[in-house]
């Protein structure tokens, strides 16, 4: 790791979205008052020991850091309280650093603000879909006889009589192979898109709890003679959350309500298209989409806009996701 050195805080300005900026491109700073003009109560600022040369998203500043490391330039990374990541160097390295970053930006120009997300493959959704895959295959293989299916399905009568865990275990079971494959494929596409906005570990536990709550609301609404199962409630919750995330990231200057609400309209149309069908749990899909929309407001906008590095907390959230289903099944099979 590069050695750290102290620097005074810099006054923050409103920043554009997703555009890396060099400090030399910023508007000129207003000259500070001399010591003679300062009031007796004010204390003079410490001399600057470092200079901010650029700020942007986590990925952009990470790339800038690699450029400086390749030139052997000592630097420091920090996160602005308003969201963007910043990079600092010593004054003697400022001119050389800005020159290297200008060359890099010239060869790799910044992309447009809030560009469309490309449909590329990510490994993050795999660990999320592992739970319904393993549990369904165990059910299909009769590893526990018929107990797993009978004790895990969401039965409105039994849920309301206190067997709340069925709202969770039902997410991991499916009626047949076609049901399973459909949920896995749709879930992978939606979670794959979400992974480009936020690490899935920071959203999936909330979506799992919200999906279980949606199943409970279905039981509370229907109350009698109703059974359901499947991971589709989680998938619809993920669709709702993703639509809200994209809505929050739309530029404020977007003209026209239809353009501004395009993510919500598109997600709602997709939910209606996928949620209707023979033997479909329409009520569960609707509740899942609604609670998923609420989950879309959980992450901070600055984290969605500027990115976030992976931390140990992500491992704890991932563990919590698996523990939720583990304890639910432990209650069901007890």
Domain boundaries of the chain, sorted by first residue: 21-107, 124-333
Question: What's residue 43's pLDDT?
Answer: 39
Q: How far apart are CA 267 and CA 258, in angstroms?
A: 13
Helices first, then strands: H and E counts in the chain: 14, 7
Nearest to 89 by CA among 135, 49, 126: 49
Rg, the chain, Cα only: 25
Confidence class of residue 321 from pLDDT cuts 50, 70 and 90? very high
**Mean pLDDT to the nearest integer, 23-49:** 47
**Average pLDDT across the chain, whole number:** 81
Exposure of 160 by Cβ count < 10 A (0-12 exposed, 13-18 middle, 19+ buried)?
middle
Q: How far apart are CA 147 and CA 173, in angstroms?
A: 12
Most confidently modeled of 6-10, 76-80, 179-183?
A: 179-183
Question: Strand 21-22 to strand 51-56: parallel, antiparallel, or no bridges (unpaired)?
Answer: antiparallel
> Which residues, including other chains, have CB under 8 Å from residue 2's CB and lie 6 or more apart?
74, 75, 76
Confidence class of residue 244 from pLDDT cuts 50, 70 and 90? very high
CATH superfamily, region 124-333: Rhomboid-like (1.20.1540.10)
Question: What's residue 234's pLDDT?
Answer: 96
Confidence class of residue 44 from pLDDT cuts 50, 70 and 90? very low
**Mean pLDDT to the nearest integer, 275-298:** 85
In this model, does residue 39 exceed pLDDT 50? Answer: no
Question: What's residue 38's pLDDT?
Answer: 45
Looking at domain 21-107, its CATH architecture is 2-Layer Sandwich (3.30)
Query: By percentage, how much of the chain surpasses pLDDT 70?
Result: 78
């Amino acid at each position: 790791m590069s050695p750290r050195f102290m620097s005074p805080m810099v006054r923050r300005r409103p920043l554009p979205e997703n555009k890396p900026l060099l400090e030399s491109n910023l508007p000129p700073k207003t000259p500070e008052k001399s010591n003679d003009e300062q009031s007796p109560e004010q204390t003079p600022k410490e001399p600057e020991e470092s200079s901010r040369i650029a700020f942007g998203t986590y990925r952009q500043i990470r790339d800038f850091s690699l450029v400086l490391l390749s030139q052997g330039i000592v630097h420091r990374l920090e996160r602005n309280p308003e969201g963007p990541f910043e990079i600092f160097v010593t004054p003697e390295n400022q001119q050389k650093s800005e020159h290297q970053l200008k060359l890099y930006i010239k060869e790799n120009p910044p992309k447009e603000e809030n560009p469309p997300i490309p449909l590329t493959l990510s490994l993050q959704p795999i660990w999320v879909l592992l739970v319904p895959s393993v549990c369904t295959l165990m059910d299909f293989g009769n590893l526990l006889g018929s107990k797993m299916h009978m004790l895990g399905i969401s039965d409105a009568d039994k849920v309301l009589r206190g067997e709340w865990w069925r709202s969770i275990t039902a997410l991991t079971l499916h009626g047949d192979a076609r049901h399973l494959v459909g949920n896995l494929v749709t879930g992978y596409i939606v979670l794959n898109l979400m992974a480009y906005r936020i690490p899935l570990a920071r959203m999936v536990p909330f979506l799992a709890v919200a999906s279980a709550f949606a199943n409970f609301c279905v039981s509370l609404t229907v109350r009698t003679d109703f059974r359901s199962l499947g991971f589709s409630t989680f998938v619809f919750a993920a669709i709702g959350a993703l639509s809200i995330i994209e809505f929050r990231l739309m530029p404020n200057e977007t003209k026209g309500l239809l353009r501004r609400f395009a993510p919500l309209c598109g997600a709602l149309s997709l939910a209606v298209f996928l949620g209707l069908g023979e033997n479909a749990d329409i009520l569960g899909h609707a509740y899942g989409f609604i609670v998923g929309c609420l989950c879309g407001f959980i992450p901070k906008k600055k984290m969605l806009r500027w990115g976030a590095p992976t931390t140990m907390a992500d491992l704890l959230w991932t563990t919590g996701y698996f523990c939720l289903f583990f304890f639910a099944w432990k209650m069901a099979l007890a």
